[in-house]
Structure 1
Amino acid sequence: MNPTLPAPDYVTEQQFWWPWNKFRLPPDALYTTLHERFNTRSSTIQEPSAFHRDVVECGNNSSTVEEFYNKLAGRKNERINEIDIAWTDRGRQRQAESSPPTSDRAGSNTDPNTQPDTPESPPLMTSTTQFNPDDRRTGLPQT
Protein backbone atom coordinates (compact mmCIF):
# COMPACT_ATOMS: atom_id res chain seq x y z
CA MET A 1 0.00 0.00 0.00
CA ASN A 2 1.40 3.38 -0.96
CA PRO A 3 -0.70 6.04 0.74
CA THR A 4 -0.22 9.67 -0.14
CA LEU A 5 1.29 11.23 2.94
CA PRO A 6 0.43 14.77 4.01
CA ALA A 7 2.98 17.54 3.53
CA PRO A 8 1.63 20.00 6.09
CA ASP A 9 2.75 23.51 6.88
CA TYR A 10 3.62 22.91 10.52
CA VAL A 11 3.33 26.62 11.36
CA THR A 12 -0.25 27.09 10.18
CA GLU A 13 -1.73 23.58 10.37
CA GLN A 14 -1.89 23.03 14.10
CA GLN A 15 -3.52 19.60 13.80
CA PHE A 16 -0.10 18.29 12.69
CA TRP A 17 1.78 19.70 15.69
CA TRP A 18 4.14 17.35 17.50
CA PRO A 19 7.11 18.06 19.85
CA TRP A 20 9.77 17.96 17.14
CA ASN A 21 11.89 20.75 18.68
CA LYS A 22 12.11 18.84 21.99
CA PHE A 23 14.17 16.21 20.16
CA ARG A 24 15.96 18.56 17.75
CA LEU A 25 14.25 16.97 14.78
CA PRO A 26 12.87 18.78 11.74
CA PRO A 27 9.07 19.03 11.82
CA ASP A 28 8.73 17.19 8.50
CA ALA A 29 10.33 14.10 10.08
CA LEU A 30 6.76 13.14 11.02
CA TYR A 31 5.92 11.93 7.52
CA THR A 32 9.44 11.24 6.29
CA THR A 33 12.01 9.52 8.50
CA LEU A 34 9.72 8.73 11.45
CA HIS A 35 7.01 7.38 9.18
CA GLU A 36 9.46 5.20 7.27
CA ARG A 37 11.17 3.94 10.42
CA PHE A 38 8.20 3.39 12.74
CA ASN A 39 5.05 3.17 10.58
CA THR A 40 6.06 0.81 7.78
CA ARG A 41 7.17 -2.77 7.45
CA SER A 42 8.33 -5.10 4.73
CA SER A 43 6.29 -8.13 3.88
CA THR A 44 6.21 -10.79 1.22
CA ILE A 45 3.85 -10.02 -1.63
CA GLN A 46 3.21 -13.58 -2.85
CA GLU A 47 3.66 -17.11 -1.66
CA PRO A 48 6.85 -18.72 -3.05
CA SER A 49 5.13 -20.88 -5.68
CA ALA A 50 3.20 -17.91 -7.11
CA PHE A 51 6.39 -15.83 -7.19
CA HIS A 52 8.16 -18.70 -8.96
CA ARG A 53 5.47 -18.75 -11.66
CA ASP A 54 5.90 -15.00 -12.20
CA VAL A 55 9.70 -15.41 -12.44
CA VAL A 56 9.37 -18.24 -14.97
CA GLU A 57 6.91 -16.27 -17.11
CA CYS A 58 9.01 -13.08 -17.02
CA GLY A 59 12.18 -15.06 -17.71
CA ASN A 60 10.67 -16.86 -20.68
CA ASN A 61 9.49 -13.54 -22.15
CA SER A 62 12.76 -11.61 -21.69
CA SER A 63 15.91 -11.43 -23.82
CA THR A 64 18.21 -9.53 -21.44
CA VAL A 65 18.65 -9.29 -17.69
CA GLU A 66 17.51 -5.64 -17.84
CA GLU A 67 14.29 -6.67 -19.59
CA PHE A 68 13.85 -9.51 -17.07
CA TYR A 69 14.23 -7.11 -14.12
CA ASN A 70 11.86 -4.60 -15.74
CA LYS A 71 9.22 -7.29 -16.27
CA LEU A 72 9.61 -8.44 -12.66
CA ALA A 73 9.26 -4.84 -11.45
CA GLY A 74 6.11 -4.47 -13.54
CA ARG A 75 4.73 -7.73 -12.14
CA LYS A 76 5.53 -6.54 -8.60
CA ASN A 77 3.51 -3.37 -9.23
CA GLU A 78 0.61 -5.46 -10.58
CA ARG A 79 0.62 -7.66 -7.48
CA ILE A 80 0.76 -4.64 -5.14
CA ASN A 81 -2.19 -3.09 -6.99
CA GLU A 82 -4.10 -6.36 -6.62
CA ILE A 83 -3.42 -6.33 -2.87
CA ASP A 84 -4.50 -2.69 -2.58
CA ILE A 85 -7.75 -3.43 -4.42
CA ALA A 86 -8.43 -6.48 -2.26
CA TRP A 87 -7.82 -4.53 0.96
CA THR A 88 -9.95 -1.62 -0.24
CA ASP A 89 -12.80 -3.93 -1.28
CA ARG A 90 -12.62 -5.84 2.02
CA GLY A 91 -12.58 -2.56 3.94
CA ARG A 92 -15.70 -1.40 2.13
CA GLN A 93 -17.35 -4.76 2.77
CA ARG A 94 -16.55 -4.61 6.50
CA GLN A 95 -17.79 -1.04 6.70
CA ALA A 96 -21.05 -2.03 5.02
CA GLU A 97 -21.41 -5.00 7.38
CA SER A 98 -20.96 -2.79 10.44
CA SER A 99 -23.37 -0.07 9.28
CA PRO A 100 -26.98 -0.49 10.41
CA PRO A 101 -29.37 -1.07 7.51
CA THR A 102 -31.44 1.90 6.44
CA SER A 103 -34.82 1.86 4.83
CA ASP A 104 -36.50 4.53 2.75
CA ARG A 105 -39.64 2.49 2.23
CA ALA A 106 -42.27 2.33 4.96
CA GLY A 107 -42.58 -1.13 6.46
CA SER A 108 -39.50 -2.48 4.68
CA ASN A 109 -36.57 -3.92 6.62
CA THR A 110 -34.32 -4.49 3.63
CA ASP A 111 -32.27 -2.16 1.51
CA PRO A 112 -33.08 -2.68 -2.19
CA ASN A 113 -29.48 -1.81 -3.10
CA THR A 114 -27.95 -4.48 -0.85
CA GLN A 115 -26.19 -7.39 -2.50
CA PRO A 116 -27.39 -10.90 -1.56
CA ASP A 117 -25.62 -12.62 1.32
CA THR A 118 -22.29 -14.18 0.44
CA PRO A 119 -20.26 -16.73 2.38
CA GLU A 120 -18.19 -15.23 5.17
CA SER A 121 -14.70 -14.22 4.14
CA PRO A 122 -11.71 -15.52 6.08
CA PRO A 123 -10.44 -13.15 8.77
CA LEU A 124 -7.92 -10.51 7.80
CA MET A 125 -4.36 -10.81 9.04
CA THR A 126 -3.89 -8.48 12.01
CA SER A 127 -1.16 -8.00 14.55
CA THR A 128 -3.01 -10.39 16.89
CA THR A 129 -3.58 -13.02 14.21
CA GLN A 130 -1.37 -16.09 14.14
CA PHE A 131 -0.45 -17.78 10.87
CA ASN A 132 -0.94 -21.54 11.01
CA PRO A 133 0.53 -23.39 8.01
CA ASP A 134 -1.13 -26.64 9.17
CA ASP A 135 -4.60 -25.16 8.95
CA ARG A 136 -6.78 -27.22 6.62
CA ARG A 137 -8.17 -24.00 5.10
CA THR A 138 -4.85 -23.65 3.22
CA GLY A 139 -2.99 -21.78 5.94
CA LEU A 140 -5.47 -18.99 6.57
CA PRO A 141 -4.83 -16.74 9.56
CA GLN A 142 -6.07 -18.01 12.91
CA THR A 143 -7.72 -15.54 15.28
Structure 2
Amino acid sequence: MKNIRYIDKYKRESYSIGEIAKYFGVSITTINNWLKEGRFLGVPGRAKNKTRISENAVWISSTGERFCIKDLIAEAVENEKKRAASSKNEEKNALMEVLSYYEEKYGDTYEKIKNKVSKTSEELRDLSEWRYILERVKSELI
Protein backbone atom coordinates (compact mmCIF):
# COMPACT_ATOMS: atom_id res chain seq x y z
CA MET A 1 0.00 0.00 0.00
CA LYS A 2 1.56 3.28 -1.08
CA ASN A 3 1.50 5.92 1.62
CA ILE A 4 2.48 9.53 1.53
CA ARG A 5 2.81 10.40 5.16
CA TYR A 6 3.03 13.73 6.82
CA ILE A 7 5.49 14.20 9.68
CA ASP A 8 4.40 16.87 12.14
CA LYS A 9 6.73 19.26 13.93
CA TYR A 10 7.27 16.69 16.72
CA LYS A 11 8.46 14.02 14.23
CA ARG A 12 5.30 11.95 14.55
CA GLU A 13 3.64 10.48 11.51
CA SER A 14 0.09 11.47 10.83
CA TYR A 15 -2.51 10.17 8.42
CA SER A 16 -5.30 11.68 6.37
CA ILE A 17 -8.88 10.67 7.01
CA GLY A 18 -8.80 8.66 3.78
CA GLU A 19 -5.70 6.74 4.86
CA ILE A 20 -7.24 5.95 8.24
CA ALA A 21 -10.44 4.79 6.49
CA LYS A 22 -8.42 2.38 4.32
CA TYR A 23 -6.53 0.96 7.29
CA PHE A 24 -9.74 0.53 9.29
CA GLY A 25 -11.64 -0.86 6.31
CA VAL A 26 -14.44 1.69 6.63
CA SER A 27 -15.65 4.69 4.66
CA ILE A 28 -14.38 8.25 4.99
CA THR A 29 -17.87 9.17 6.18
CA THR A 30 -17.53 6.70 9.04
CA ILE A 31 -14.21 8.23 10.10
CA ASN A 32 -15.76 11.72 9.95
CA ASN A 33 -18.68 10.51 12.07
CA TRP A 34 -16.27 9.00 14.60
CA LEU A 35 -14.39 12.31 14.73
CA LYS A 36 -17.67 14.15 15.42
CA GLU A 37 -18.55 11.59 18.11
CA GLY A 38 -15.17 12.15 19.78
CA ARG A 39 -13.96 8.58 19.22
CA PHE A 40 -10.46 9.81 18.34
CA LEU A 41 -8.50 11.27 21.24
CA GLY A 42 -5.56 13.54 20.49
CA VAL A 43 -6.88 14.93 17.21
CA PRO A 44 -6.72 18.73 17.16
CA GLY A 45 -9.59 20.91 15.94
CA ARG A 46 -10.72 20.06 12.47
CA ALA A 47 -9.91 22.24 9.48
CA LYS A 48 -12.11 21.40 6.52
CA ASN A 49 -10.43 18.67 4.40
CA LYS A 50 -7.15 19.12 6.30
CA THR A 51 -7.61 16.91 9.35
CA ARG A 52 -4.57 14.77 10.11
CA ILE A 53 -4.68 11.98 12.66
CA SER A 54 -1.42 11.42 14.51
CA GLU A 55 -0.01 7.94 14.98
CA ASN A 56 -0.13 8.71 18.71
CA ALA A 57 -3.86 9.46 18.68
CA VAL A 58 -6.18 6.99 20.38
CA TRP A 59 -9.29 5.45 18.82
CA ILE A 60 -12.15 4.41 21.08
CA SER A 61 -14.03 1.33 19.82
CA SER A 62 -17.80 0.94 20.12
CA THR A 63 -17.18 -1.22 23.21
CA GLY A 64 -15.12 1.53 24.84
CA GLU A 65 -11.73 -0.12 24.33
CA ARG A 66 -8.91 2.27 23.50
CA PHE A 67 -6.32 1.57 20.83
CA CYS A 68 -3.31 3.59 19.69
CA ILE A 69 -3.53 4.45 15.97
CA LYS A 70 0.09 3.41 15.48
CA ASP A 71 -0.69 -0.11 16.78
CA LEU A 72 -3.85 -0.45 14.69
CA ILE A 73 -2.01 0.58 11.53
CA ALA A 74 0.87 -1.80 12.25
CA GLU A 75 -1.67 -4.61 12.68
CA ALA A 76 -3.48 -3.66 9.46
CA VAL A 77 -0.20 -3.64 7.51
CA GLU A 78 0.78 -7.04 8.95
CA ASN A 79 -2.65 -8.50 8.11
CA GLU A 80 -2.35 -7.21 4.54
CA LYS A 81 1.07 -8.87 4.18
CA LYS A 82 -0.36 -12.16 5.47
CA ARG A 83 -3.36 -11.92 3.15
CA ALA A 84 -1.13 -11.24 0.14
CA ALA A 85 1.13 -14.18 1.01
CA SER A 86 -1.90 -16.42 1.51
CA SER A 87 -3.37 -15.36 -1.85
CA LYS A 88 -0.08 -16.10 -3.57
CA ASN A 89 0.04 -19.52 -1.91
CA GLU A 90 -3.55 -20.27 -2.95
CA GLU A 91 -2.75 -19.28 -6.54
CA LYS A 92 0.32 -21.50 -6.59
CA ASN A 93 -1.70 -24.43 -5.22
CA ALA A 94 -4.38 -23.91 -7.87
CA LEU A 95 -1.77 -23.89 -10.63
CA MET A 96 -0.22 -27.09 -9.28
CA GLU A 97 -3.66 -28.74 -9.23
CA VAL A 98 -4.13 -27.90 -12.93
CA LEU A 99 -0.72 -29.39 -13.74
CA SER A 100 -1.61 -32.55 -11.81
CA TYR A 101 -4.93 -32.74 -13.66
CA TYR A 102 -3.22 -32.71 -17.07
CA GLU A 103 -0.56 -35.20 -16.02
CA GLU A 104 -3.28 -37.52 -14.73
CA LYS A 105 -5.50 -37.00 -17.78
CA TYR A 106 -2.73 -37.82 -20.25
CA GLY A 107 -0.74 -40.18 -18.04
CA ASP A 108 2.51 -38.45 -18.94
CA THR A 109 4.48 -35.21 -18.82
CA TYR A 110 3.87 -32.14 -20.94
CA GLU A 111 7.08 -32.73 -22.93
CA LYS A 112 6.11 -36.26 -23.93
CA ILE A 113 2.59 -35.27 -24.97
CA LYS A 114 3.92 -32.22 -26.84
CA ASN A 115 6.29 -34.45 -28.84
CA LYS A 116 3.53 -36.89 -29.76
CA VAL A 117 3.25 -37.04 -33.58
CA SER A 118 -0.51 -36.81 -34.09
CA LYS A 119 -2.67 -34.81 -31.69
CA THR A 120 -6.41 -34.25 -31.46
CA SER A 121 -7.85 -30.73 -31.30
CA GLU A 122 -8.58 -31.33 -27.60
CA GLU A 123 -4.95 -32.29 -26.99
CA LEU A 124 -3.76 -29.17 -28.82
CA ARG A 125 -6.06 -27.01 -26.70
CA ASP A 126 -4.95 -28.73 -23.49
CA LEU A 127 -1.27 -28.43 -24.46
CA SER A 128 -1.70 -24.70 -24.99
CA GLU A 129 -3.19 -24.23 -21.51
CA TRP A 130 -0.74 -26.70 -19.98
CA ARG A 131 2.20 -24.74 -21.41
CA TYR A 132 0.73 -21.48 -20.09
CA ILE A 133 0.35 -22.95 -16.59
CA LEU A 134 3.91 -24.33 -16.67
CA GLU A 135 5.22 -20.88 -17.65
CA ARG A 136 3.23 -19.26 -14.82
CA VAL A 137 4.62 -21.73 -12.27
CA LYS A 138 8.15 -21.23 -13.59
CA SER A 139 7.83 -17.42 -13.37
CA GLU A 140 6.50 -17.71 -9.80
CA LEU A 141 9.54 -19.75 -8.74
CA ILE A 142 12.09 -17.34 -10.23
After TM superposition, the score normalised by the length of structure 2 is 0.28
Structure (1 or 2) with the greater helix fraction:
2
Larger radius of gyration: 2
After TM superposition, the score normalised by the length of structure 1 is 0.28
